[in-house]
Structure 1
Amino acid sequence: MSNGQGSQKNVVLYVSAAIALLFVVFSIVMPVQMGKATGAVMSFLTGNFGWLYLLSVFVFMITLYGIAFSSYGSIKLGKDDDKPEFTNFQWFTMLFGSGMGIGMVFWSVAEPMVHYMSPPVGEGGTPAAMYLAMRIAFNDFGIHVWIIYAICGLALAYFQFRKGLPCLISSVFYPILGDRIHGPIGKTIDIITVFATIFGISTSLGLGANQIASGMQYIWGIPSSPLMIAIVIAVMTVIFTLATASGLHKAMQLVADIKIWLSIAFMAFIFLFGGTVFQLDLFTHTLGEYLQSFIGQTLWMGNKEWVEAWPVFYRAWYIAWAAFVGQFIARVSQGRTIREFVFAVTLLPAGFCLIWLGIYGGAAFHLDGMTGGAIQAAVKADLTTSLFVTLKQLPFYALTAPLSIVLIVASFAGAANSAAYVLGMLTSGGEMNPSSKLCSFWGITLGAVTIMLVLVGGIAAIKSLQTASIAGAFPFMLIMLGMCYCIYKALSEEKV
């Protein structure tokens, strides 16, 4: 198999950068029209193809576990004598850090409360609504998320390390395209990938900065404004760009370690002071319901409008992230077997996320009952402050409040430096260790794109960007369905 990219290897870089620039220019010059256009596209896709988003994730799940349980599961992601590059703990922290971004911190309190007040079925504000709300949160942040990331990561790791192809999404399609992966079709696949990555991570940067700015206003009274949000974005950009430029074994590992240990510390603290028995009861009940109805809720469309707004939205959002998260977890998984990869990637981080949600969501419900509805009131007033309002009901608020800001920054930085690193790989012809200059370019670009949009259009511009990113996930979802066929076709030729 040839992996030469020739003089065309910068095509993806130039075209992707140009598309990003054009989108930003149009968003600045015509923000209202851009918002309407992206909204219309999003409404069309979710309204007419919501079923396909749900069904696609089901196909990814069948493909992954079918391969893992088969004889192909013993195949190494690399040569037969390759050894893992990272220890098990280092591997886990980077797996978790690449895929768990702002969303988990932002929604861990807010989402259960939203569904508790307005469930898709039944009456809100009841014990049944509470159990349903937690199960919905488990469904949105649990195993399905990591199934999406894992199918992409498995295909990439197999073709990169087993077959010696470049670290590019297009490489996965070698079984059906052959050397044409180096031509226009392959370049188009990689450009779509870069587009989804740029706007997916820029949106998260904007939303994360908005939560930090709101937190600073709530905690210290510092007014939240587009300028303040832009300043927060600039500081976060410097942090994750420097981490990315240092490489996998230095600051990127440090960021992942800080994030995982701080996450564990917060979980332990909230577990101890947020109603331990209540959390355990709620978690146990919800986990049972979640596992019992796993297949059914994967494909549930009983309330079409609600499904489009929540499960379909989340599936599309994770597909938008799958390119860079999958590429990153592939990069750090060389030397693992397929079976080890599938079960570790889909179950370990997902299990951590479920425990996280059980603790945060359980504490929120417990404290809401103790305070006569303070958490519900916070969610109704401003979703971005719900975490800080919850912490305020617990001891040591003067310490936990600023540490929660650090956690948000670390949560974003862990995902953002993974994205900048992968963008460097995708736009350098598939280099496994892209130059620090190229990674830094993409880190600065991600920050600059978000800052410009916030300064011109405020949070409304970020929401337009989010909509565009999710709409852009539709063609990548089709690419991922093609990946399922390609990985199966390639494995069928292995001697096991």
Structure 2
Amino acid sequence: MTGSADVDADGDPEPRSGEASETKLSHRIDLPVAGTSVGILAAFVALALIIPDTMSSWVGTAFTACANIFGMYWQILLLATFLIALVLIFTPWAKARLGNQARPDFKRFSWVAMIMTTLLAAGGVFWAAAEPMYHYATTPPHFTDDGGSAVDAVAAALATSFIDWGFLAWAILGSLGAIVMMRAAEKGMPLRPRSLLYPVLGKRAATGPIAAIVDVVCVISVAAGTIGPVGFLGMQVSYGLHSLFGIPDVYGVQLVVIAVLTAIAGVSVFSGVSRGIRFLSSANVWIALALMAAVLALGSAWFVIKSYFSGFALYMTDFFSMTLYRGDTEWLSGWTVFFFGWFLGYAPLMAIFVARISKGRTVRDLLISTTVLPPIATTFWFAVLGGTGIFLEQKSAGSISGPLSDGGLPAAVMAISDNLPLSLIISIGFLILTMTFVATTTDSMSFAMSQSCMTSGEPSPKLRATWALLIGVTAAVLISLGDGGVDALQSAIVITAVPVGFVMLPSLFAAPVYVRQMAKEQNLV
């Protein structure tokens, strides 16, 4: 940011990085929250190393129970969040500016890029290539349960992917929660997950055991959701390097990949939010646009565009029935409910990050730029990668589904690249993009986790770098167990999403009230 010094939760100027003494810094860090969060992560890793099979069984049982019991609640919660955000866009209150600031800190392109790349992470590449192919190979039960008229398999595959990664995911991550967080901060509350309870507890939400528990649960949840992609990235890039250059796909290579990723995130951390995350995010968007254009030109642009519109049309016509589908709970726990739980687990800390970078934006601007435009861009990106994979599969059966079945997620994007002209360049581009995507998420979430452990002010680069390092080290340890260790952690985020789902609930009624209050205070209504 330019033009102003950082301020703490009470509005007092904070010393810039390096100016605070170690004594003052120690008082600003909430040691119980930070220590408990790290301790729980350490205990999880220790159990995963000592009794991996038992730990995996425990997590699997808890995951299944949480998905079955709370899955419907999550589906309703995400749907309600999206609908309320959509209605707010069209109210006159939406002209209110957030954060008691007349002008935004970041230009629009940089701002939207930071939000998009933080949320997409590795899913922006590997899931975009793989998920539509999974649903194309096996038609989702929503379209087969009732035995009704047949739907186009390509449209059904894309529409199902859009449900998982579209409007609802973006709404829970960046809309109502961010508004509540910013309004609570205006009232003197800290920029921490506990402030999401401000609508029901008032200033009492800032202190006490409930506040600490909320912070710890939310930090653990987003840590699980970030460590998982970092660990998978190590395995995925290692697979890609083996596929492209014959480099052995072994643990040592995976460690090097994670070390490089952690180093990139660390450099970005010390560059600050205004430089590091903004630079990485902008680079991600430009690389993604270049790769998207290349895939469209080298594959079949007409097939992708036609498939996108047919898939999006089905997404719209079946929006409510697909969102609230409860027919096959086992399928749901592996797809829609899993993703909803995953995104929900990210929601509180994403609210912190979005609040941090959105001061000076209007409510309408925030909601359109989180709930409407990014989902449309995301669904098109999924159509480009996944649709191209389906196109290649139709031309040569097994060309994409075969490697996907044998090698998992990283094999899909590699197989798509291999079947296009300039395959080496395209493959390297996707590996670089995935690295920068995950590095951005690691940097952004290390900021949010560090902020959650602060009693006031913004976290120092040292604290953020410590969290980034912990993420990398934890991922490195877990992948020593193979896919199972990281899979267990990925499932753990769905377990932690249970309490997080109730933390996000007050934003449904509080956000509209706060938006109206801000509009009245700013003499807009």
Partner residue in 1 for 2:389: 364
Aligned equivalents of 1:7, 1:389: Cα separation in 2? 49
In structure 2, relative to structure 1, the CA distance for the partners of 1:415 and 1:2 (3 Å cut) is closer
Matched, 1:65 2:86: yes
Aligned equivalents of 1:212, 1:8: Cα separation in 2? 35
Partner residue in 2 for 1:229: 254
Letter matched to residue 418 of structure 2 = K
Partner residue in 2 for 1:265: 290
Whether contact under 8 Å (2:192, 2:451) holds in the other structure is yes
Partner residue in 1 for 2:105: 85
The SS at the match of 1:167 is coil
Partner residue in 1 for 2:509: 485
Partner residue in 2 for 1:297: 322
Structure 1 residue runs of 4 or more that deviate by more than 6 Å after TM superposition: 4-8
Within the candidate set 52, 56, 70, 2:73 is matched to 52
Whether contact under 8 Å (1:154, 1:342) holds in the other structure is no
Partner residue in 1 for 2:488: 464
Aligned equivalents of 1:63, 1:183: Cα separation in 2? 31
Partner residue in 2 for 1:134: 158
Kindly state the Cα deviation for residue 2 of structure 1 after the two structures are TM-superposed: 8.1
Aligned ranges for residues 294-443 of structure 1 at < 5 Å?
Answer: 294-383=319-408, 384-431=410-457, 433-443=458-468
Aligned equivalents of 2:30, 2:327: Cα separation in 1? 47
The SS at the match of 2:274 is coil
Q: TM-score, normalised by structure 2?
A: 0.89
Within the candidate set 119, 122, 128, 1:108 is matched to 128
Q: Which shifted more, 344-353 or 223-232?
A: 223-232
Kindly state the Cα deviation for residue 325 of structure 1 after the two structures are TM-superposed: 2.3
Aligned equivalents of 1:123, 1:425: Cα separation in 2? 46
Whether contact under 8 Å (1:75, 1:337) holds in the other structure is yes
Whether contact under 8 Å (1:35, 1:461) holds in the other structure is yes
Whether contact under 8 Å (2:196, 2:504) holds in the other structure is no
Whether contact under 8 Å (1:152, 1:483) holds in the other structure is yes
Kindly state the Cα deviation for residue 491 of structure 1 after the two structures are TM-superposed: 4.6
Q: TM-score, normalised by structure 1?
A: 0.94
* Alpha-carbon displacement from aligned partner over 1:236-270 (angstroms, at most 9, x marks no partner): 11111221221112222111111100000000001
Within the candidate set 127, 135, 145, 2:169 is matched to 145
Aligned equivalents of 1:16, 1:3: Cα separation in 2? 26
C-alpha RMSD of the superposition: 2.2
Q: Which runs of 5+ in 1 are unaligned?
A: none
Q: Which shifted more, 226-235 or 315-324?
A: 226-235
Kindly state the Cα deviation for residue 56 of structure 1 after the two structures are TM-superposed: 1.2
Whether contact under 8 Å (2:217, 2:500) holds in the other structure is yes
Whether contact under 8 Å (2:200, 2:506) holds in the other structure is no
* Alpha-carbon displacement from aligned partner over 1:27-78 (angstroms, at most 9, x marks no partner): 2222111111111111111122221111111221233233333343222212
* Alpha-carbon displacement from aligned partner over 1:292-333 (angstroms, at most 9, x marks no partner): 222222212233322222110110011122233222122111
The SS at the match of 1:37 is helix
Whether contact under 8 Å (2:363, 2:515) holds in the other structure is no
Aligned equivalents of 1:216, 1:436: Cα separation in 2? 32
Aligned equivalents of 1:8, 1:347: Cα separation in 2? 36
Whether contact under 8 Å (1:316, 1:473) holds in the other structure is yes
Q: Which shifted more, 179-188 or 271-280?
A: 179-188
In structure 2, relative to structure 1, the CA distance for the partners of 1:441 and 1:301 (3 Å cut) is same
Kindly state the Cα deviation for residue 158 of structure 1 after the two structures are TM-superposed: 2.6
Q: Which shifted more, 231-240 or 311-320?
A: 231-240
Letter matched to residue 268 of structure 1 = A
Aligned equivalents of 1:94, 1:197: Cα separation in 2? 17
* Alpha-carbon displacement from aligned partner over 1:182-207 (angstroms, at most 9, x marks no partner): 22221211111111111110011111
Letter matched to residue 64 of structure 2 = S
Percent identity between matched residues is: 25
Whether contact under 8 Å (1:241, 1:420) holds in the other structure is no
Whether contact under 8 Å (1:68, 1:339) holds in the other structure is yes
Aligned equivalents of 1:22, 1:75: Cα separation in 2? 45
The SS at the match of 1:84 is coil
Partner residue in 1 for 2:20: none
Letter matched to residue 57 of structure 1 = L
Whether contact under 8 Å (1:116, 1:130) holds in the other structure is yes
Letter matched to residue 116 of structure 1 = Y
Aligned equivalents of 1:305, 1:9: Cα separation in 2? 40
Letter matched to residue 212 of structure 2 = K
The SS at the match of 2:232 is helix
Kindly state the Cα deviation for residue 430 of structure 1 after the two structures are TM-superposed: 4.6
Letter matched to residue 155 of structure 2 = Y
Aligned equivalents of 1:426, 1:466: Cα separation in 2? 21
Kindly state the Cα deviation for residue 175 of structure 1 after the two structures are TM-superposed: 3.2
Whether contact under 8 Å (1:172, 1:486) holds in the other structure is no
Whether contact under 8 Å (2:140, 2:160) holds in the other structure is no
Aligned equivalents of 1:196, 1:334: Cα separation in 2? 26
Whether contact under 8 Å (1:274, 1:363) holds in the other structure is yes
Kindly state the Cα deviation for residue 493 of structure 1 after the two structures are TM-superposed: 4.9
Aligned equivalents of 2:276, 2:99: Cα separation in 1? 26
Q: Which shifted more, 316-325 or 201-210?
A: 316-325
Kindly state the Cα deviation for residue 492 of structure 1 after the two structures are TM-superposed: 5.8
Aligned equivalents of 2:220, 2:70: Cα separation in 1? 21
Aligned equivalents of 2:491, 2:42: Cα separation in 1? 17
Aligned equivalents of 2:313, 2:375: Cα separation in 1? 15
Within the candidate set 5, 9, 33, 2:54 is matched to 33
Aligned equivalents of 1:282, 1:7: Cα separation in 2? 53
The SS at the match of 1:100 is helix
Kindly state the Cα deviation for residue 7 of structure 1 after the two structures are TM-superposed: 7.4
